Amino acid sequence: MGCIESREKRLVLIDGQNVAFGYNNAKKGKINKKDDRNFSAEALKNAIEHFENLGHEVKAIIPEFRVHHSSNNNLMREMKDSGQLILVASKAYDDKVLLEAALKNNAAIVTNDRFRDIQEQTSNYNYIIDNLIIRFNWVRDEFIPTEDSYGRCGPSLDDILHI
């Protein structure tokens, strides 16, 4: 009998705004981010459940005001009450909180953001940005993480998801 290698599952942090707005952006084209209906609570829940179904602990990081400003405020409150959301003070920069949380927890980040503005300010998050980002697509209503976020020679989705 062969040995089965057991790898620890990495915490998955979701860039809530990027995922929720990305859904409607994919469906409708360029959207107005000031229109609360374009922040899809259902899409965010779909992405969270995708990684939970793989056995990962998952948290979505969003600005606090989004709990009451989305396509489905009841669903947002349910996710908040169940501990699936990490709320960032509305004036704070949620991307920096996301990167700091990933750094401190050795977590993967689900986002299509490139974080160029933050990389211009500091190199503190380069390891996370260069190794632990999971890009994604929406096909109809299905959340699909990219298998090769860093190209053919970079870490695979499985490598990113495990320690």
DSSP 6-17: --PBPPEEEEHH
pLDDT (0 to 100) of residue 106? 98
pLDDT (0 to 100) of residue 2? 52
Helix (H, G, I), strand (E, B) or coil at 86: strand
pLDDT (0 to 100) of residue 55? 98
- The residues facing 110 across adjacent strands are 14, 134
pLDDT (0 to 100) of residue 99? 98
Instruction: Tell how strand 85-88 and strand 58-63 pair up.
Output: parallel
Which ranges of the chain have pLDDT less than 50?
none
pLDDT (0 to 100) of residue 26? 78
Burial class (CB in 10 A: 0-12, 13-18, 19+), 129: buried
d(CA 141, CA 26): 10
pLDDT (0 to 100) of residue 145? 99
The answer to whether 67 and 80 have CB atoms below 8 angstroms apart is yes
Side chain identity at 154, as an amino acid letter?
A: G
CA atoms within 13 A on the CB side of 23: 23
Domains of the chain: 12-161 (3.40.50.11980)
- What sections of the chain are H helices per DSSP? 16-28, 41-52, 73-81, 94-105, 116-121, 126-131, 157-161
Enter the DSSP assignment of 154: S
